């Protein structure tokens, strides 16, 4: 199928636009983090009696501070960037007539979109908007590298990748890896907050960071497991064996063991807190290592992905 160059160009424009919007969002998040007041502990009410029956208390409208309004603008820009980002993937897929994750550039784009969407969902569940600059900065770095060093023109995939398993395996692995980027960052922030709470008063409480990291990992781990299983099934169909200890397979398996250890440690009372957070950080490091070093430096059966 010939490539639609017009749609491919639109895809590149949307990708760059999303990158620019994310950059502005990071700046707005940074402004809120820098100038917003540190959260205070709720003060106990002294001498408050029971509510009087029939008395309607006036609604007090709390006006947002300027840093908070700027933070909300950053969140709105993040949503806009995610829509542009999604549009770039859709256009890339339509231009090539296939799933838009057949090379490292596209894989990185899908991974980062999954991370951004996860962040948007977490902002609804937790009071963590101020962390936007910390979370989106590594995503920006990955997108920049994807659009420069790893960029590939829209084209049909190689014969080895022309399988329905490309849609299943690569998408699940990419999405789960993107989701796992978020608890990696929040676990690092948890360690900072837990070690020196007085030096990082504007970070959310250690308890919030810990619960957010745990719940996100719980969500991503089954997806990551399913992605590895689907990859093994595809490997058997393509290469005649389920597992060959290819470098990427090996590091993915080690990452799976580390995340399984984190979930076990987090569920064990004696390992909650810093010990579990350190395990999650190791998993985050392995995730990034597998993403770059294995694809760019080593040679193996997974090294043909557009590089």
> What pLDDT sits at residue 270?
65
Q: For residue 119, count other CB atoms closer than 10 A to its CB.
A: 26
The reported pLDDT for the residue numbered 21 is 97
Q: Is the pLDDT of residue 48 over 60?
A: no
The mean pLDDT of 114-125, rounded to a whole number, is 94
Output phi, psi for 37, to 5 deg: -75, 150
Whether the per-residue pLDDT at 47 is higher than 70: the answer is: no
Looking at residue 143, what is its pLDDT?
93
Residue 54: per-residue pLDDT: 43
pLDDT above 90: percentage of residues in the chain: 47
Q: Distance between CA 219 and CA 253 in Å, rounded?
A: 18
Residue 46 confidence (pLDDT): 38
Higher local confidence (pLDDT), 14 or 195: 14
Q: Is the pLDDT of residue 35 over 50?
A: yes
- Other CB atoms closer than 10 Å to residue 221's CB: what's the count? 19
pLDDT at residue 42 above 60?
no
Question: pLDDT per residue over 228-282, tens digit each?
Answer: 998 888 878 777 777 777 777 888 899 999 999 999 888 876 677 888 899 999 9
- Whether 122 and 219 have beta carbons less than 8 Å apart is answered as no
pLDDT at 14: 96
Q: What pLDDT, on the 0 to 100 scale, is given for residue 20?
A: 96
For the entire predicted model, the pTM comes to 0.86
The band of 56, judged by pLDDT with boundaries at 50, 70 and 90, is very low
- pLDDT for the residue 297: 58
User: 205-214: per-residue pLDDT in tens?
Assistant: 888 899 899 9
- Alpha carbons 49 and 60: distance in angstroms, whole number: 19
82: its two tokens: 């995610």
pLDDT digits (tens, 9 = 90+) for 176-211: 999 999 999 999 999 998 887 777 888 888 888 998
3-class secondary structure for the chain? Answer: CCCCHHHHHHHHHHHHHHHHHHHHHHHHHHHHHHHCCCCCCCCCCCCCCCCCCCCCCCCCCCCCCHHHHHHHHHHHHHHHHHHHHHHHHHHHHHHHCCCCCCCHHHHHHHHHHHHHHHHHHHHHHCCCHHHHHHHHHHHHHHHHHHHCCCCCCCCCCCHHHCCHHHHHHHHHHHHHHHHHHHHHHHHHHHHHHHHCCCCCCCCCCHHHHHHHHHHHHHHHHHHHHHHHHHHHHHHHHHHCCCCCCCHHHHHHHHHHHHHHHHHHHHHCHHHCCHHHHHHHHHHHHHHHHHHHHHHHCCCCCCCCCCC
Q: Could you state, in order of their start, the residue ranges of all structural domains in the chain? A: 1-36+67-157, 158-302
**Over 90: is that where the pLDDT of 135 sits?**
yes
Predicted local confidence at residue 298, as pLDDT: 55
């Amino acid at each position: 199928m010939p490539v639609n160059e017009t749609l491919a160009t639109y895809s590149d424009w949307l990708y760059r636009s999303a990158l620019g919007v994310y950059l502005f969002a990071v700046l707005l998040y940074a402004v809120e983090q820098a100038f917003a007041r540190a959260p205070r502990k709720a003060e106990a009410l002294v001498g408050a009696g029971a509510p009087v029956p029939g008395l309607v208390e006036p609604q007090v409208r709390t006006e947002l501070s300027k840093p908070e309004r700027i933070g909300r603008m950053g969140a709105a820009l993040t949503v806009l960037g995610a829509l542009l980002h999604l549009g770039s993937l859709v256009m890339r897929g339509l231009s090539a007539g296939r799933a838009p994750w057949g090379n490292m550039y596209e894989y990185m784009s899908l991974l980062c979109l999954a991370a951004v969407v996860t962040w948007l969902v977490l902002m609804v569940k937790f009071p963590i908007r101020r962390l936007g600059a910390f979370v989106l900065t590594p995503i920006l770095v990955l997108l920049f590298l994807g659009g420069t060093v790893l960029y590939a023109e829209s084209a049909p995939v190689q014969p080895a990748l022309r399988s329905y398993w490309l849609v299943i395996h690569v998408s699940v692995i990419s999405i789960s890896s993107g989701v796992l980027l978020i608890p990696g960052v929040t676990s690092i922030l948890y360690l900072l907050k837990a070690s020196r709470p007085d030096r990082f008063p504007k970070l959310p409480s250690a308890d919030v960071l810990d619960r957010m990291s745990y719940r996100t990992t719980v969500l991503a781990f089954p997806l990551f497991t399913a992605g590895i299983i689907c990859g093994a099934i595809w490997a058997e169909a393509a290469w005649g064996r389920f597992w060959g200890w290819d470098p990427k397979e090996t590091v993915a398996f080690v990452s799976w063991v580390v995340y399984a250890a984190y979930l076990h440690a987090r569920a064990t009372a004696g390992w909650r807190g810093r010990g579990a957070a350190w395990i999650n950080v190791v998993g985050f490091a392995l995730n990034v290592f597998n993403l770059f070093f294995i694809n760019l430096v080593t040679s193996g059966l997974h090294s043909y992905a557009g590089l």
